Amino acid sequence: MKRFPVSLMVFLVLAGSWSFAAEPRQTLIIFHAGSLSIPFSRIAAAFEKENPGVKVEREAAGSRTCARKISDLGRPCDIMASADYSVINQLLIPSFASWNIRFASNEMVVAYVPESAYADEINAGNWYEIMQRKDVSIGRSDPNSDPCGYRSVMTCRLAELYYKKKGLAERLLKKDLRNIRPKETDLLALLEAGEIDYLFIYRSVARQHGLSFVILPDEINLKNPQYASFYSRVSVKISGKKPGSWMVKKGAPMVYGITIPKNAPNPKLALTFVSFVLDPEKGMKIMEECGQHSVVPAESLTYENIPAPLRKYAKPAPSVPGKEEL
């Protein structure tokens, strides 16, 4: 058998080591809403395939919790994707981010499993009556941590207006307070284990996890922009930008937002990833398949601050004195 000279073998090993060192693996850090876990898992895998040598590290949490990891804890983050675009505006802009692109929509539903109490009875006309029954347990996420949490409160208050049932919202919201969790996806295990019967959650998440769900009227589900004025009739008091402060969130059609924080360790790669997410044939195609529909391009009051390569995915909003994109 032919033997290679020792000197040649050493050269090959050293050459291989040099090549590896010359092209280090790039890491992209993403904080995102829990409801983006499945689509962003697929998007990250597709992005890594298209960009060999890149590793995407995702961290899912309630959108407000994600924002506070950046603003309060100073955690490094390349991309922040929120289930409510206004979280970025209110908690990150202008100190920790300078722009925001709205990219997807969703809606609220009441999800359950076949084993849930009265699963064979519940429908769009009686869901709020069944959820009030003493032998029924319900769950929702924390309004101070998660947009789905304050949207659950809004849904209950809109239901009270829509069905003309005085006191309905408080009866639902005071029920089973022990079942409030930091983000909506934390409740899935409780539902599947039979610890709760019903939960307020996004339609996309219910669909992605194969759950049964009640489709709510557009006047309640925070989906339809045509009912924006009706949605704005309800509001929720939640924690503010600074500890001990508070802000009021008005009901509005739900729209997701994405940005690159100012402390991004790898801003150029982050720009490439955001472009991949917003591309209709790449990331947005996956979002659509997961039940989160595109709103690209949408108006943005931060349009002038959006990096030039991404401006095609947004539109400048009309300048209105005193108007805030909240």
Amino acid at 37: S
| Mean pLDDT on 285-301 | 96
| Mean pLDDT on 246-265 | 96
| Mean pLDDT on 220-232 | 97
* Element housing 270 (H / E): helix 267-278
The Cα–Cα gap between 22 and 148 comes to 44
**Percentage of residues in the chain having pLDDT higher than 70:** 90
Q: What is the pLDDT of residues 53-68, one digit of tens each?
A: 999 999 999 999 999 9
Range from 110-114, 255-259, 267-271, 318-322 carrying the lowest mean pLDDT = 318-322
**CATH topology assigned to domain 25-105+254-316:** D-Maltodextrin-Binding Protein; domain 2 (3.40.190)
| Mean pLDDT on 258-266 | 97
Q: What is the CA radius of gyration of the chain?
A: 23
User: How many other CB atoms are found less than 10 A from the CB of residue 54?
Assistant: 18
The Cα–Cα gap between 256 and 274 comes to 13
Confidence of residue 36 (pLDDT cuts 50, 70, 90): very high
At residue 4, the pLDDT reads 47
Domain boundaries, the chain: 25-105+254-316, 108-239
Instruction: State whether residue 34 is helix, strand or coil.
Output: helix
Q: Which CATH class is domain 108-239?
A: alpha beta
* Element housing 16 (H / E): helix 6-22
Amino acid at 61: A
At residue 324, the pLDDT reads 47
Residue 223 is classified by DSSP as -
Amino acid at 301: L
Average per-residue pLDDT for the chain: 91
Q: What is the pLDDT of residues 128-159, one digit of tens each?
A: 999 999 999 999 999 999 999 999 999 999 99
The Cα–Cα gap between 255 and 102 comes to 6
Cβ atoms 274, 314 nearer than 8 A: no
CA 112: distance to chain centroid?
A: 21
Range from 224-233, 241-250, 305-314 carrying the lowest mean pLDDT = 241-250
Report DSSP letters for 112-168, one per residue: E-TTSTTTTT--TTTHHHHTTSTT--EEEE-TTT-HHHHHHHHHHHHHHHHHT-TTH
| pTM to 2 decimal places | 0.87
At residue 3, the pLDDT reads 52
